Structure 1
């Protein structure tokens, strides 16, 4: 089978021939149809001390199952987060991370919707927004952010603000239902908001905390790090909540499944519209990474096999 790999940190991505893996206990072997790229994996290619397997959100058909698998049979179409080699013709997916793909949905729909949607929905629930509050979403044009903007509106936010790295993304974010769009470099982020869903971190945390209304909540789900001054929280009784999807998947599988069901329901009703920036061939994985690294994507970046 074909597989994308690299040999040194920051090194070029290349295609290689590799044996088809065999599923172990609790695992599915999936013939991959689409791969949704994730920012953490793209970052690790340049930042990790050693090369890592290129994982991501995969979708395709189950062609073999390991011992103990009970939820999926051969021939079933599934999607989920692959922690091993996902940029490949065949990939291993753990049963606990797998979700069935409805017949009416494509593999591209699945990788654009499910994992990114789970993060967006989970971060929104962690913020505990009340009906009528204002919500700001950073990285609002990203794979997660563009779904978070829509979900905030569907969950009853009175005002939804999208924050972006480039003002050229404003029209796209407004098309998702955002009332206002700001650039990170703007001196004034407008009226205070009650909740912020932050996928950026780093230096952006300071203006984000300043944009919160008293008693406001910022949910941090970024791998970008950053530092927050305690005084900036104290003066407005503001709070910061960390959110990690893996903890939900491992520790609260019933909640994980309920969120997946809700995402597919909203998709089938036409209320939630995943956007795909572009579909790249497996051999063009490096070019797909460049789109994410340049922060130029509007929606999800996908490899199509």
Structure 2
């Protein structure tokens, strides 16, 4: 089978197409023939060695697929080594999905959808009527967070994005306006995946008892160290969030994912799909993602 692998750190250029034997399922596992693979910002951090946990090399990136089991079920699954024509996953990790649900929509709900859900529910603990600012609001997580914030009772949702077209998309998805720092009215919740100078600007616009949730560093530049006294004056908090341990907590995976799938089936939630690349063009997909040339969920297709 064809897979995409890297054996050194360094960015998109380290990704190589290789031929490997098909993986053999162990007891309790199922082999999946891959229909589509999700691409996430975390994958780019893996290739350059900046991910929160170090992976052994050589390594096949990718953590989510839509595909078929040997008995014909169409499933969505979290997996290791997703950039491949075939993968194995624990039977317990499989979620059956309808035939008419586009693969990109399903993949958008797994990592990005669950991240957006937990950012608002678990990390920020959004309360009804609060003002929410979503950075990178046209991206995979941001586009869903804009919609879910409204669904979860936010009083006002403001979007930040890198281009006018992306700002327009966020407004179409339900944002009330565009966030321009410093904010005229302070925010209760700010969701930041960008870091760097934008994190510092957001912190200056955090209101009393506000929560700034940081869950990425797309800028690849350090933020200014946070002075605890600065937070104390506002009774505010900076909260770090990582999806992986959250999903292993009771109620962290299946129930939120089924809620997201149900909202999508009823047309209440609109996953934004981005470009799709052949599996062998994974390097280009990473380059475009890092250059912010993409909007919504990026996928690979074997």
TM-score if structure 2 supplies the norm length? 0.89
Q: Aligned residue for 2:190?
A: 196
Kindly indicate whether residue 49 of structure 2 is the aligned counterpart of residue 55 of structure 1.
no
Which SS does the other structure have where 1:278 is aligned?
strand
Kindly indicate whether residue 36 of structure 2 is the aligned counterpart of residue 29 of structure 1.
no
Which SS does the other structure have where 2:285 is aligned?
helix
* Larger CA deviation: 117-126 vs 23-32: 23-32
Deviation at 1:130, TM superposition (A): 1.6
Q: Measured at CA, do residues 242 and 299 of structure 1 come closer, stay the same or move farther in structure 2, by a change above 3 Å?
A: same
* Larger CA deviation: 208-217 vs 193-202: 193-202
* Preserved contact between residue 172 and residue 298 of structure 1 (Cα < 8 Å): no
Kindly indicate whether residue 151 of structure 2 is the aligned counterpart of residue 157 of structure 1.
no
Deviation at 1:9, TM superposition (A): 1.9
CA RMSD across the alignment: 2.0
Q: Aligned residue for 2:130?
A: 133
Map 1:7-86; keep pairs closer than 5 Å.
7-10=7-10, 11-47=13-49, 51-63=58-70, 74-83=71-80, 85-86=81-82
1:82-103 Cα offsets, whole Å, 9 max, x none, are 22x2111101223343322123
1:136-179 Cα offsets, whole Å, 9 max, x none, are 11121111111011100111212111122334421111111111
Map 1:1-305; keep pairs closer than 5 Å.
1-10=1-10, 11-47=13-49, 51-63=58-70, 74-83=71-80, 85-126=81-122, 127-182=124-179, 187-222=181-216, 226=223, 227-252=225-250, 254-305=251-302
Q: For this pair of structures, how many residues does the alignment match?
A: 290
* Alpha-carbon distance in structure 2 between the residues aligned to 1:59 and 1:196: 31
* Alpha-carbon distance in structure 1 between the residues aligned to 2:25 and 2:217: 30
TM-score if structure 1 supplies the norm length? 0.88
Which SS does the other structure have where 1:31 is aligned?
strand
* Alpha-carbon distance in structure 1 between the residues aligned to 2:93 and 2:184: 39
Deviation at 1:270, TM superposition (A): 0.3
